[in-house]
Structure 1
Amino acid sequence: MAAKDRAERRLAAILAADVVGYSRLIEADEAATLALIKSLRREVIDPLLAEHHGRIVKLMGDGALVEFASVVDAVACAVAVQRAVAGRQAAVPAERRIVFRIGVNLGDVVVEGEDLLGDGVNVAARLEQLCEPGGVLVSGTAYDHLQGRLGLPLTFAGEQRVKNIARPIRTYRVELDGKAARRRSWWQGRRAAAALAALLVLAAAAAGGWWWGRAGGDAGAQGRASIAVLPFENLGGDAATGRLADGLTEDTITDLARFRDLDVIARNSTAAYKGKPVDVREVGRALGVRYVLEGSIQRQGARVRVTAQLIDAPTGTHVWSERWDRPTQDVFAVQSELAEAVAAKIGGYTGLIVAADRDLAKRKRPQDLNAYDLYLLGIEAKHRETKESVEEAIRLLKQSLAIDPNFARAWTGLSWSYQVLGGFVDETPELRQAAKDAAQQAVDLDPMDAEAHAALASALGREGNLVRTGAELGKALDLNPNSADILTFYADWASSFGQAERGAAAAEQAIRLNPNMPNWALSSYRYAFFMVGRYEDALRMLDRKPRDNYRRSDYVFRAAALGALGRVEEAHAAVAEALTRFPNLTVEGFAGAPEWSAAERQRLTDTMRRAGFPACAKQETLKIMPGLERLPECASS
């Protein structure tokens, strides 16, 4: 290829920024919004770009793309902009302030005149979309080149899968307040209780037989996942690093023990392997486990590097590996954060171990499937989130329970499946009762299962018993406060019992723990954000969910969020789409359901009216929902 035909490329640091809620601000007061943006650009942003040698590539109405030769300059400029913009607007009412999201990436770009194209630009734009309002989110490549030069902590925010980028993107959040993120952001007081609960789980298991044995046990135990956490290796050799390694090992075991899908070997059974070369396959045979987690820790000056890898013991193959680099200003925060990250990645029914077990179940002949295999396949079918797949999940979970009627996890899965099915059909009292009965059976069989309590909480909430919903979710969080799944379930109901802000915080924490969020979780997050008035964030969650997986509530919340933002034409189109699929949808029929609190009902009523939904419930709805909260104009009809 001739040189003139080859695209010009270069390595560049790209900063992408946009204004949060731009459409809402413009709709409320176009002239004032544009004047404020121009003022901020002239007096704050342009001088900072010049100071840090940034070149504006393009400007959009609500954002900008800027090129830097140095990633340190790019991130330092992003931080300076966020601080200066916030400081300049101290006297501006909160609802009128200009707030930016900023993403920074270091990558290869294609040069076309004054414009830049390619993955380097695309990743920066995606990071900006994922960034929290007022924050700065940087890619792994940018983080690797910063190497402590920024002077601010950066917290790992997970591997993100983004649109049109095949590979997952490592992301890091710049802590603008200068403080490293601590582990328990909003449920901190629960850790001691949760640790005690984990010990009680093990004690109860030994006494009562709830904890399935590795050498046999009931039918439900066949094929059940089991794991041993080997002592993390101290590569530095010093005593301080050794203490950090021991603490990380212990924290990881404690966190994994809270996931009821796993049998976790006690630490005293693995302590003998400390400091010794091991054959993982031999460890698996000796301890009777399917998976082995091993790792190492090394300190270099003011930083610590931790590696972890999950290994399939019978074959010795690697299932997953990860590396973390962190500053060591607070070694206990580092220890807790990393243990939480490992547990969240591999534990729970959205984790790697269950996924690996599910793949094995798929390779079995139908006649060889046991209760655990059928449970895994049923949960996978439920997660596909179509009416047909949920009906398949109910069939598979019933088959699992026919083999082992005491399999608590299958009862939990059955309850969730009934509840999800209610989102695709007109939910009847019989369907709600079946969901509640299945969840109650799960709790009765295994009172220490956090997810069983969460399923019961949701089922109780659907019939309007919000006091017990809050109590059951409190139990679930006590038992497993760092499960992305449990945090998601809490986020889905927190507003109903007056904890809307905590619900949004739980959603954010769940997303950090599991950035590759499953489709079913997106509806919970959009609810949590909607109920605190973060309509743009609610729509962002819905935009990530395939239309084939939309339930009735997804259609409603999409239209209502658009209505709240004043996007009238889009809201009317969303209402028409919802009514095509659910002809009986009305403001009264949806917002008047017993699961909503008074505050939620008012927010839904207002936004659904603005979107253009018909007001009064139809007679068919009134027959199956006799406790409906009537609207004044509909009560006499």
Structure 2
Amino acid sequence: MQRRLAAIVAADIVGYSRLAQLDEAGALDALRQNQTEIIEPKVKAHEGRIVKFMGDGLLAEFGSVVNAMRFACEMLEATVKAASELPPDRRLRYRIGVNMGDVIVEGDDLFGDGVNIAARLEALAEPDSILLTGLVHEQVKNKLELRFDSLGRRTLKNIAEPVSVYRVALGEGTRALEPVSLDLPQRPSIAVLPFESPGDDEEQRYFSDGITEDIITELSRFRALFVIARTSSFAYRDGGMDVTAIGRELGVRYVLMGSVRRTQHKLRITAQLYEAESGRSIWAIKQDRDPSQLFAMDDEIVQAIVTALPGRIEADWLARGKRKRTDNMVAYDYMLRAWDNLYRNGGTEHRQIAELLHCALELDPGYAQAHALLAFVTVLGWYRNEVPDALDKAYELASQGVALDAEDGWCHFSLGFVCLYRRNYEEAELHYQRAIELNPNDAELLSQFGSFLAYIDRTEEGIEWIRRAMRLNPYRQAWHWHDMGFNFLVARRYEEAVQAFHRVSPPMPFDNCYLAIAHAHLGQPEKAREHAEAMIASRPDSSVQTWLPKEPFRDPATLEHFLEGMRKAGFPERPATKPALAVINGGR
């Protein structure tokens, strides 16, 4: 094993993942230009060696600690100057740690506390700043024209002894230097900080880090969320900053923090979601588990957190959005209001939903989910016979949504849904399955797939998928119970269908038709008639020949089974009035 004394510089860009999500190609070009035009020449000029670039990070070695400090200051100053013409939220902003110590050499790479301490200092540093150890300070304080601020002794993670830390007091030319608040993305943004794990238990630390990483990965599947990447979130491992400062630095509206604490008899996992601007807590979860099952429960814990978070964030954003003036709304606000209308009214106000989506697309023509939801409500218009070629238009919109974002599960769901009503069952199933592959933790997608399976007479599978959805999301289950009742009705399990539809809360008006059919087939004519009358009262156009024949059952016998139930329940064969409204089975 080869060892040597070296001066080490560790550097990392603050919020690079956020820059990449805003403009991936632009951020990568800026990073490469910074590396080739600033970092590499200055490392060479000061007789150093680049050990490695790590994505947006850098590790460099110098034989002289004076040269290491000169490099760090010149590199930071050049980077700030080069970015000065850019908007604040588009700038590359480094934080840098400098240490001198013993390192282990393995090939071209370096290891050991000499490297680790530099990396820990870099993680503690503010944007556009340099931290150095007391040992480095002693070597350079009389050799470089720099001023230093002492930050005292700091305990660094996994370093046995506290370390004296100094900060370079940089001049006006380098400090664009007061922290800049990044503009918030125009959709919900969240940073998941490393879950705290008190003590020195390495197994427990790996477990808590694993939970954090898995939450970041799974939340990233929800395309409506802007999720800060692991490298940026883990820079805040050592704590010491409040959620408001973290939100400002990373440009996020929400911050998730958590902890893993183990005693002899209990493992407690907690998580809390904060609205960063105000610092208020908007959601929390606490789970106690058997500590002997430490790693076996990882997926279960992550799933419990991930399935709850998007809905909580959505609700908070919607509440804020309802207080906004219309002229201050962004595309996501319109999109969320459209979803909210669909949830509350079951698709009855599809014109209003379409108007909201057109507003979203005017602001952002490339909004994939808006295209997808507009395709869905276009099918509602087809139900009303308002636009004869509406299914073709819906297919075009849904296909455009997938073309804009092929990794969005809801875009694939929408295309699958349209294909179902075009009776292209094979293509529909492919897109439903792709939607679930992209986001297996989205309970709504699982429930919708269960509903699709009823149309192709695979009700046992459908019921199981809906049960999975219910386990994932115990909070908002109205649509799940509706989808479950629909499967039971297709399967001719009438009593279970009745129980399921009665659990739909708030009730959906068109469920009265399904309840009437179920009671009719159970030989309960009075109850069947009661629900038929309720359906006709809410929708005077309701009849055997109105909208149910448009349901895309693959087997004609299944449709006839439904129509027979409507006749037994007392529905008229044709409407007494011109059809005014119709709602299909399905929706988010």
- Please, what TM-score do these two structures have when normalized by structure 1? 0.58
- 579-588 or 532-541: bigger deviation: 579-588
Distance in 1 (CA, whole Å) between partners of 2:307 and 2:269 is 16
Contact 2:459 2:490 in 1 (8 A): yes
Matching of residues 472-487 of structure 1 within 5 Å: 472-487=431-446
Say if 1:364 and 1:258 are closer, same or farther in 2 by CA, change over 3 A: same
Q: Partners in 2 of 1:333 and 1:422 — Cα distance?
A: 49
In structure 2, the CA distance between the partners of 1:402 and 1:521, relative to structure 1 (3 Å rule), is farther
CA-atom RMSD, angstroms? 3.5
| 1:287 alignment counterpart | 250
Classify 1:233/1:541 alpha carbon distance in 2 versus 1 (closer, same or farther; 3 Å): same
Partners of 2:346 and 2:445 lie apart in 1 by 22
Unaligned 5+ residue runs, structure 1? Answer: 1-198, 625-637
Which of 281, 293, 297 aligns to 2:260? It is 297
Aligned to 1:101: none
Distance 1:562 1:301, change over 3 A: farther
- Where 1:406 maps in the other structure, the secondary structure is coil
Aligned twin of 1:360: 320
- Which of these residues, 360, 368, 391, is aligned with residue 408 of structure 1? 368
Q: 2:404 aligns with which of 424, 428, 445?
A: 445
In structure 2, C-alpha distance between the alignment counterparts of 1:214 and 1:581, rounded to whole Å: 55
Cα contact 1:284–1:313 (8 A) shared by 2: yes
Alignment of 1:369-448 (within 5 A): 369-385=329-345, 389-420=349-380, 425=384, 429-448=388-407
Contact 1:466/1:595 (8 A) holds in 2: no
| Contact map agreement 1:214 1:288 (CA 8 A) in 2 | no
Distance 1:203 1:453 in 2: 21
Offset of residue 308 of structure 1: 0.3
1:230 and 1:270 in contact (8 A); partners too: yes
1:437: Cα distance to partner?
A: 2.8
For 1:535, the equivalent position in structure 2 comes to 494
Counterpart of 2:300, as a letter, is: E
Task: Report % sequence identity.
Answer: 31
- CA 1:606–1:208 in structure 2 vs 1: closer, same or farther (change >3 Å)? farther
The residue number in structure 1 matching 2:483 is: 524
Cα distance, 1:491–1:313 mapped onto 2, change above 3 Å = same
Q: How much has 1:550 moved relative to structure 2?
A: 1.5
* Equivalent residues in 2 for 1:79-478, closer than 5 Å: 206=24, 215=89, 222-235=185-198, 237-328=200-291, 330-347=293-310, 351-385=311-345, 389-420=349-380, 425=384, 429-478=388-437
- How far apart are 1:524 and its partner, in Å? 2.5
Q: String of CA shifts for 1:179-218, please: whole Å, max 9, x gaps.
A: xxxxxxxxxxxxxxxxxxxx9xx99994699xxx99489x
Instruction: Tell me which amino acid in the other structure corresponds to 2:228.
Output: I
Judged with a 3 Å threshold, the aligned counterparts in structure 2 of structure 1 residues 529 and 229 are, in CA distance, closer, same or farther, namely: farther
Equivalent of residue 490 in structure 1, options 431, 449, 456: 449
| 2:531 aligned partner, one-letter code | A
Do the aligned residues in 1 keep the contact of 2:307 with 2:442 (CA within 8 Å)? yes
Residue 591 of structure 1 and its aligned partner are, at CA, apart by 5.7
| Aligned residue identity for 2:554 | S
Distance 1:427 1:505 in 2: 36
Q: How many residues align?
A: 411
CA 504–422 in structure 1, closer or farther in 2 if over 3 Å, else same: farther
Report Cα offsets for 1:545-589 as digits up to 9, x if no partner.
4677423xx232111122233322101222233344555655566
Q: Which amino acid aligns with 1:459?
A: V
* Cα contact 2:334–2:356 (8 A) shared by 1: yes
Aligned residue runs from structure 1 range 41-56, under 5 A: none
Q: Equivalent residue for 1:601?
A: 559
Residue pair 1:495, 1:531 contacting (<8 A) in 2 also: yes
Partners of 2:26 and 2:314 in 1: how far apart? 25
Cα drift, residue 309 of structure 1: 0.4
Name the CA distance, whole Å, in 1 between partners of 2:540 and 2:317: 41
Q: Closer, same or farther in 2 for the Cα pair 1:577/1:292, shift >3 Å?
A: same
Match of 1:558 among 504, 508, 515: 515
Q: Does the CA-based 8 Å contact 2:369-2:411 persist in structure 1? A: yes
- Decide whether aligned partners of structure 1 residues 279 and 221 sit closer, same or farther in structure 2, where only a CA change above 3 A counts: closer
1:513 Cα deviation from its structure 2 partner: 2.0
Structure 1 residue ranges (4+ consecutive) displaced by more than 6 angstroms after TM superposition: 202-205, 615-621
Name stretches of at least 5 consecutive residues in structure 2 with no aligned partner: 1-16, 28-86, 92-182, 583-588
Instruction: Give, in whole Å, the separation in 1 of the partners of 2:334 and 2:550.
Output: 34
Equivalent-residue separation in structure 1 for 2:483 and 2:570 (angstroms):
24
- State the Cα deviation string for residues 146-191 of structure 1 (Å, max 9, x = none): xxxxxxxxxxxxxxxxxxxxxxxxxxxxxxxxxxxxxxxxxxxxxx
1:508/1:429 CA distance change after superposition, 3 Å: farther
* Deviations 1:226-268 (CA, angstroms, capped at 9, x unpaired): 1111111113642222222122111111110100011111112
1:483-527 Cα distance to aligned partner (Å, 9 max, x none)? 012112212201223432221112112122222226455432322
Q: Label 1:222 to 1:205 Cα distance change in 2 as closer, same or farther (>3 A).
A: closer
1:385/1:520 contact within 8 Å kept:
no
The CA distance in 1 between the partners of 2:89 and 2:465, in whole Å, is 38
C-alpha change, 1:230 and 1:385, in structure 2 (3 Å) is same
Provide the secondary structure at the position in 2 that maps to 1:258: coil
Cα distance change on mapping 1:617 and 1:367 into 2, 3 Å: closer
* CA separation of 1:515 and 1:428: change in aligned 2, threshold 3 A: farther
The residue type paired with residue 523 of structure 2 is G
Kept after mapping to 1: 8 A contact 2:258/2:271: yes
Summarize the Cα distance change of 1:573–1:388 in structure 2 as closer, same or farther, 3 Å threshold. closer
The structure-2 alpha-carbon separation of the partners of 1:203 and 1:275, relative to structure 1 and needing over 3 Å to count, comes to closer
Q: Structure 2 CA distance, aligned partners of 1:203 and 1:499?
A: 40
What is the distance in 2 between the residues matched to 1:315 and 1:204?
24
Is the Cα contact below 8 Å between 1:470 and 1:497 reproduced in 2?
A: no
Q: Distance in 2 between matches of 1:285 and 1:235?
A: 26
Cα pair 2:189 2:225 within 8 Å, conserved: yes
* Equivalent position SS for 2:475: coil
User: Cα–Cα, structure 1 residues 560 and 591, in superposed 2: closer, same or farther, change >3 Å?
Assistant: same
* Kept after mapping to 2: 8 A contact 1:358/1:373: yes
Q: Report the residue type matching 1:288 in the other structure.
A: G
Alignment match, 2:532:
575
More divergent stretch after superposition (518-527 vs 288-297): 518-527
Check 1:597–1:308 CA distance in 2 against 1; reply closer, same or farther (3 A cut): same
Aligned partners of 2:453 and 2:326: how far apart in 1? 41
